Structure 1
Amino acid sequence: MVNSLTKEQKTDRAQQIAAAALTLFEQQSFSQLTMAAIAKQAGVSKGTLFNYYESKESLFMTLLLDGYHQYFDDLTRRIEQCTTFTLADFLQLLLTETANLITTHGLLVRLNALRGPILEQGANMAQTISHRQALYASNERLAQTIQTRVPTLTVAEISQLLLVQSAMISGMMNLAGLDEFNRQPLYDQDFEHFKVNLGPDTVTTFRYYLQGKYPTVVLTKE
């Protein structure tokens, strides 16, 4: 029973389930995954899994929110270690991190693309709100850390730039998936003009946006 476990044991069990779900998500599309398969991968009963998450959507929504929470906290620590940090540094960091999210945190951005159309439809609202509050707090800490170093920006403006970055990645991911169906390439079809080079094209699009918003700042191409 979940209630007989200590807080530390519950945390360990939740991490065990999260790791199992992400391992399977690396190999399959969301629609192909089942709670039974996740329970088996985690080495727990299906009943135990449902004690933690009432639906597949709740589980992956939590993974999404917690993943970005950890990412924002890591980014905050890295910025705090910078001896100098200007507006140009911040905008350049946004571009670098756009590529980093796509290449290093692929599972996270895949989940983010599912959030609106799929995850929100079946996720537990109370659980989502709780984890979203933690994510919001980490986002605020990140924005405030940046704002103290770049006082020409407001916390709201910084948060908005992070939202635009997220939206651009998700949008480009959807475009990049036009030549696939359930993560299976459509080999027999030729959709040449629909093809998107996800990382470079997203960074280029975001650079255009930032240069339009901050025309006096020179952004380099990496």
Structure 2
Amino acid sequence: MKRAMTEEAKTARAREILNTAEKLFLESGYRDLKMSDIAKVAGISNGLLFVYFKTKETLFLCLLWREYEKRLDFLEEHVRRKQPESFSDIQALLLEELTLLLETNPLYIRLEALRAVILERGADTDTLCRMKKRLSERTDAWSRQLEESGVLSREEIMDIYCMESGIITGCYQQSLVSASVQNSLPSTELCMVQRDYRSDILNGMKCYLEGYRRRRIRMQQRFRMQQRKAR
């Protein structure tokens, strides 16, 4: 394969590498997948692969960031089509999008669980900073768009977004621990430790959002009481 020369050709090749990495990752997982495996399937040399992605962590972080872009495209389009009018509307939007994510995108879930503990620690600094800046700009634009509904502030929206990330990571990592425990147990006891991380994530987010809704109601009630006392 000839070395890409134009920016357009380089972008196309980087995309091909990411597509190859995605396929192999879903087949074999992260730990056992080597950069040399990706280079071989992509039809390029190991040296050329490292020209495009300096480390394995950088490559998979780029793959995750591509999934972030897809998520934000979906959320922005949804808010454009139907501006939320209440917290219940926002709650329904977030749960609908999360359900779709869990049912159709195992890549995102698995990579997000690796992000803080592995990918960001081993990614090259320039790429990490550039991606974080881009993600910050996109999430800020979406939160501003959602803030126009007057239901939540940007800070509240970002709190919820970050909590969702924490729930995804925690539940998926817990499922891996449960899986390792299963390997040491007889089949008659497996039902005691088997977990469905998709259900755990969705139920965890539902509980968090419901608690958030109730807390907002209590705060609003307290604020109205203070206003009445001040009159």
Q: Same fold (TM over 0.5)?
A: yes
Moved more, 158-167 or 74-83: 74-83
Find the structure with the greater CA-based Rg: 2
* Correspondence for 1:165: 164
SS in 2 for 1:30: coil
Contact 2:83 2:146 in 1 (8 A): no
* Correspondence for 1:120: 120
Aligned length: 213
Structure with more helix by fraction: 2
Cα distance in 1 for partners of 2:21, 2:196 equals: 27
Q: For 1:179-218, what aligned pairs fall within 5 Å after superposition?
A: 179-181=178-180, 186=183, 188-189=185-186, 190-215=189-214
User: CA 1:104 to 1:211, structure 2 compared with 1: closer, same or farther past 3 Å?
Assistant: same
2:5 alignment partner AA: L
Moved more, 129-138 or 62-71: 62-71
Question: What are structure 2's unaligned runs of at least 5 residues?
Answer: 218-231
1:200 alignment partner AA: S
The structure with higher relative contact order (CA 8 Å, sep 6+) is 1
Q: For 1:67-146, what aligned pairs fall within 5 Å after superposition?
A: 67-82=67-82, 85-146=85-146
Contact 1:99 1:200 in 2 (8 A): no
1:58 alignment partner AA: T
Contact 1:35 1:56 in 2 (8 A): yes
Q: With the length of structure 1 as denominator, give the TM-score of the two structures.
A: 0.87
1:21 alignment partner AA: A
Q: With the length of structure 2 as denominator, give the TM-score of the two structures.
A: 0.84
* Root mean square deviation of aligned Cα: 2.2
Runs ≥4 residues deviating over 4 A: none
Question: What are structure 1's unaligned runs of at least 5 residues?
Answer: 218-222
SS in 2 for 1:44: coil
Cα offset, 1:187, TM superposition: 7.5
Once the two structures are superposed, residues 139-182 of structure 1 have per-residue CA deviations (whole angstroms, 9 ceiling, x without a partner) of 11211111112x1311111011011111111111111222334x
* Correspondence for 1:220: none
* Correspondence for 1:53: 53
